Structure 1
Amino acid sequence: MDPENETMVTEFHFSDFPQSKNGRLLFFIPMLFIYIFIIVGNFMIFFAVQLDPRLHNPMYNFISVFSFLKIWYTTVTIPKMLSNLLSEQKTISFIGCLLQMYFFHSLRVTEALVLTVMAIDRYVAICNPLRYAIIMTPRLCIQLFTSSCIFGFFMLLPEIVWISTLPFCGSNQIHQLFCDFEPVLQLACTDTSIILVEDVIHAISILTSVSVITLSYLRIITAILRIPSGKNHQKAFSTCAAHVAIFLLFFAVWHSCICAIALMFAVLAPLFNPIIYSLRNKDMKNAIKKILCSQKMFDASGS
């Protein structure tokens, strides 16, 4: 392309949104309620763990951290999508697009690492219960969470910096509901095959997480089956059932993120996160009820 005829792109336009006003409202209303449910539900889990001393242990602390990450993971994409559904100009600035890609994928990598840590925590608790308190100390839990965040947010940084230096010209139409690597790189006016190196690194890191999680739960299942009491079987399986469900849903979402309907799938994990953890866990349900009852008492006293 002749450099003199290039028109540099300063913003991107999302082309996959419904064009009619009724079609936009049909998506806007349920998506707004879904987003509110995600925020309220995950905040309830976060505060339930923080406010209930009975839940101050590694397992629930990791659950609260995971719920907190889900809030921000969803906030990166859905609010902008809601505003685009109401706007005639469905655009995002170049810098805004880079930031959306960076935080969306960084939070997702961090969540994958936290899920890995949660699997290791359950493995130690069930397969080595006598040493659990010695191994999973508060200091180690903080170090594991901090390391997950540092690795998750620094892993994507070189790729985002490199994309920011690419020339974008001509079409600014993103065939997606949010900024993602593949649709954005298709608009670059240069060879982007070097991105394959970064993709290999990402794939290796995710494959490592999946392998560690899978091996941990296989060892957990083996250990549970050796427990003689049926009641203990049920309790142990119930403890891990929510983790396994979130793990399967999370990586199903990850795999589907190459599709045009990626955002709709990406909403499922944050949406089901509070449902799974509140319905499958008696202690969590009691902690949430305690918060709700306290709020009702506060409202009653205030009136």
Structure 2
Amino acid sequence: MGRKNESPVSQFVLLGFPDAKQFQPLLFSFFLVIYLLTVTGNVLIIYAVKRDHRLHKPMYYLLVNFSFMEICYISSTVPNMLFNVLLVQHTISVLGCITQCYFFFVMGALENYLLALMAYDRYLAICNPLRYPAVMTTRFCSTLAGGCWAVTFLASIVPIIYISRLQFCDSNEINHFFCDISPLLKHSCSDTTVFKQFFFTMVWIIIFSCFLTTLISYLHIIKTLMQIPSTTGRKKGFSTCTSHAIVVTMYYGTVIFVYVRPMASDSTEMDKVVSVFYVVLTPLFNPFIYSLRNKDVRKALAKVYVENFSVCSNRSM
């Protein structure tokens, strides 16, 4: 079947939110504030864990990895979106679009792996507390986290190389606020049927394998905690993994809707709204969830605030 327009495309137009053109300054301010809060919150968590020796544990080492990943995740989309909101023509080069796809997919896959790894860490700590120090050593934890980063960066090269060799024609308008792979494939002149099957199969495997690992870990955790006779002991056990459970629920609830439901490759207005949650809002909520619900992190942040406030006060005298 032929295309209406076979002329090659050198750049794409990201439509963003065309129905809210009159609110562009408000959207810019909204997303800018969210971006700054997200980066600041995650940086504070990383800094607090680094400064407080009491937090030099596998659980918080994974949290540092997760916070750094969230900074990279939101930075792969929002800065370019903010730049486009200020412009009348929201354009991005084909190479820039493919590059954004790569880093967005890498960070998305990495979030799945880190969430599963954090769930496994809580499973070992609660269900096998005596073996936990021997199994989850700093070296082993670093190896697991480093493996997640390496696997996602290397494995994501395969689909991106394929996409980079595609020819794009027809309309160059992408009905989204960033370059996701699904809407990008709709503008290819090449036959992408086989690649779509490969890509979405890979996405489903990543999402469901990590989700099942997380779910099984929490089922074992709940079973173990319910066997504790002391109410205080059960409450303390649940408090150590509540923050992670909230993050898991928010993330998978939105990601599964976009990428796993039928016809996930069609970009719709609903997809864009849901994408705002897992691309923009979830990275914003995570540092607040982990800091507000974790007593040790709160103490570390308070210590950082007191130390820096004292230094600033002494300098001003």
What TM bracket, shorter-length normalisation?
over 0.9
Q: TM-score, normalised by structure 1?
A: 0.95
What is aligned with 2:222?
A: 221
- 1:2 deviates by 8.2
What is aligned with 1:136?
A: 136
Q: CA RMSD in A?
A: 1.7
What is aligned with 2:186?
A: 186
Distance 1:99 1:127, change over 3 A: same
Take 2:284 and 2:76, find their aligned partners in 1: how far apart are those partners? 15
- Equivalent residue runs for 1:241-280 within 5 Å: 241-257=242-258, 259-266=271-278, 267-280=280-293
Query: Match of 1:47, SS?
Result: helix
- 1:20 deviates by 7.0
Take 2:211 and 2:21, find their aligned partners in 1: how far apart are those partners? 42
Take 1:163 and 1:221, find their aligned partners in 2: how far apart are those partners? 43
Aligned residues: 302
CA contact (8 A) 2:159 2:199 kept: yes
CA contact (8 A) 1:11 1:92 kept: yes
Write the deviation string for residues 239-282 of structure 1: whole angstroms up to 9, x where unpaired: 01011111111112312445122441121210110111011111
Take 2:140 and 2:68, find their aligned partners in 1: how far apart are those partners? 19
- Equivalent residue runs for 1:1-303 within 5 Å: 6-18=6-18, 22-195=22-195, 196-257=197-258, 259-266=271-278, 267-303=280-316
CA contact (8 A) 1:253 1:269 kept: no
- 1:64 deviates by 1.3
Take 1:18 and 1:25, find their aligned partners in 2: how far apart are those partners? 13
CA contact (8 A) 2:6 2:189 kept: no
Matched residue type, 1:270: P
Write the deviation string for residues 131-188 of structure 1: whole angstroms up to 9, x where unpaired: 1110001110011001111111122211111011111113110000100111111011
Percentage of pairs with the same residue: 39
- 1:19 deviates by 7.0
CA contact (8 A) 2:14 2:175 kept: yes
Stretches of structure 2 lacking an aligned partner (at least 5 in a row): 259-263, 265-270
Stretches of structure 1 lacking an aligned partner (at least 5 in a row): none
Q: TM-score, normalised by structure 2?
A: 0.91
- 1:22 deviates by 3.8
Write the deviation string for residues 31-76 of structure 1: whole angstroms up to 9, x where unpaired: 1111111000111111111110000001111111101100010000
Query: Match of 1:194, SS?
Result: helix
